[in-house]
Amino acid sequence: MFIQPISISPTRVASGNILMSTPFEALGLAAPLLRAVADLGYTHATPVQAQAIPAAMQGADWLVGSQTGSGKTAAFLLPALHRIIEQGPTAIHRVATPRVLVLCPTRELTQQVAAEAIRLVRHVKKLRIGQIVGGVAFGQQIAALKGADLVVATPGRLLDLAQRRQIRLDMVQCLVVDEADRMLDLGFQEDLTAIHEACADRDQTLMFSATFAPRIVQLASRVMRDPQRIELANAQDRHADIEQRLHWTDDANHKKRLLAHYLSASTLEQAVIFASTQIETEALARELANEGHQVA
Ligand code: AMP
C-alpha cells in the first residue's frame, strides 16, 4: 500500500496543458477512433501518445518507456486498432485468430486494457475485443473469443488455450507487451519466448516498460527486430515536486493505523492510495468509507 497526497496547484495544471500539445486529429487515426477518443473527453494526446502513436503507425518495432498513468494504454491500442480498421473485417474462423495480441502481466491490467479497447471501438462495426485471464471457466472464455480481432491476455492462460487449440496465434500481425518489467518480475520470461515463437510471422512488436533496465533491453533484443526507443526526456524529473517516504510496518494493523494517521492530517484535502490488487482496493475503500471518508 502506498499513499500519495495530491495538491492540485494552478502551476501543475498549466504545465500539464503545455505538455499535452498535440491534438488527436493531427495523428492520422481512423475517424471512428477519433470519435471514441472525443467521447472519452481526451482532446490532446499525452506525451507518450504523441510520440508512440505516429511511430507505431509507421510500422517497425518500438520499445517505449512509460509509467502507469501516462496514457500508455491508448498509446498502443489506438495504432493497433487503426491497423485493424484500415484492413477491414476478415473471415471468422472456428477458433479465434487475432490480428493484434496484447500481453499484460496481471488479470487486473488485462481487464483494464480490454475495457479501454472496448471503449475505443464503440463506433467501429464488426471489430471484436477478446480477453483471456486465468480463473474464468474455459468454455465461457472460448465462446467469448470467437471472431476477436484484438485479444488482451495474460501469458499463462493464453498458452494454455493455444495448446488446447482454442486460439491460433499464427495470424497475429502486431504483438504488444505491456509492463514488460513486471512481466519479468512475475517470471513470464519463458512464456514470452513461447508466445514470440508462436506468432513469428508478425510484422510489428511494441514493448512498453517503466524502465530500460538491461534485462528489458535484452528481452527486447530477443523478441524484437532492431527495436527503436521512445524515451520521454522528462520522464524522470516530472515528479520532482513529490516527496517520497518509506515506512516499514510490523503487520497489517500497524499499516492501517499509519494510514489513518496520515489521512487525519488537517492539511490533507485529497489523497490517492494504491493497493496491489482489486480485492484489496475494494476492501480498503469500504473500510475507509465506514470510517467516514468520502471514497471512490
Ligand atoms: P494509462 O496510463 O493508460 O493507465 O492511462 C491513465 C489514465 O489517463 C486513464 O484513466 C485514461 O483514461 C486517461 N487518459 C489516457 N489518455 C488520455 C488523454 N489523452 N487525455 C486525457 N486522459 C487520458
Express each pLDDT in 37-47 by its tens digit: 999 999 999 99
The per-residue pLDDT for 16 is 38
Q: Determine the Cα–Cα distance for residues 285 and 291; give it in Å rounded to an integer.
A: 10
Q: How far is the CA of 174 from the centre of ligand 1 (A)?
A: 22
Cβ–Cβ < 8 Å for 189, 222: no
The per-residue pLDDT for 6 is 41
The per-residue pLDDT for 9 is 30
Q: Determine the Cα–Cα distance for residues 81 and 161; give it in Å rounded to an integer.
A: 23
Neighbours of 210 (CB within 10 A): 17
Burial class (CB in 10 A: 0-12, 13-18, 19+), 118: middle
Single pTM value for the model:
0.79
The per-residue pLDDT for 242 is 78
Q: Determine the Cα–Cα distance for residues 33 and 125; give it in Å rounded to an integer.
A: 11
Cβ–Cβ < 8 Å for 161, 142: yes
Q: How far is the CA of 71 from the centre of ligand 1 (A)?
A: 4
The answer, yes or no, to whether any atom of ligand 1 lies below 6 A from the CB of 66, is no
Q: How far is the CA of 282 from the centre of ligand 1 (A)?
A: 21
The answer, yes or no, to whether any atom of ligand 1 lies below 6 A from the CB of 101, is no
The answer, yes or no, to whether any atom of ligand 1 lies below 6 A from the CB of 154, is no
Q: What is the pLDDT of residues 182-231, one digit of tens each?
A: 999 999 999 999 999 999 999 999 999 999 999 999 999 999 999 999 99
Q: How far is the CA of 69 from the centre of ligand 1 (A)?
A: 6
Q: How far is the CA of 288 from the centre of ligand 1 (A)?
A: 26
Mean pLDDT, 10 residues at a time, over the chain (296 residues)?
42 38 94 98 95 96 92 97 95 92 96 98 95 91 93 97 96 98 95 97 97 94 95 64 87 92 89 89 94 91
| Ligand 1 atom with minimal separation from the 73 CA | 3
Q: How far is the CA of 53 from the centre of ligand 1 (A)?
A: 14
Q: How far is the CA of 41 from the centre of ligand 1 (A)?
A: 10
The per-residue pLDDT for 154 is 97
The answer, yes or no, to whether any atom of ligand 1 lies below 6 A from the CB of 24, is no
Mutate to test the pocket of ligand 1, among 13, 40, 106, 112 (most ligand atoms within 8 A of CB): 40
The answer, yes or no, to whether any atom of ligand 1 lies below 6 A from the CB of 106, is no
The per-residue pLDDT for 13 is 29
The answer, yes or no, to whether any atom of ligand 1 lies below 6 A from the CB of 45, is yes
How much is the mean pLDDT over the chain? 90
Q: What are the cell numbers at 118?
A: 472496448
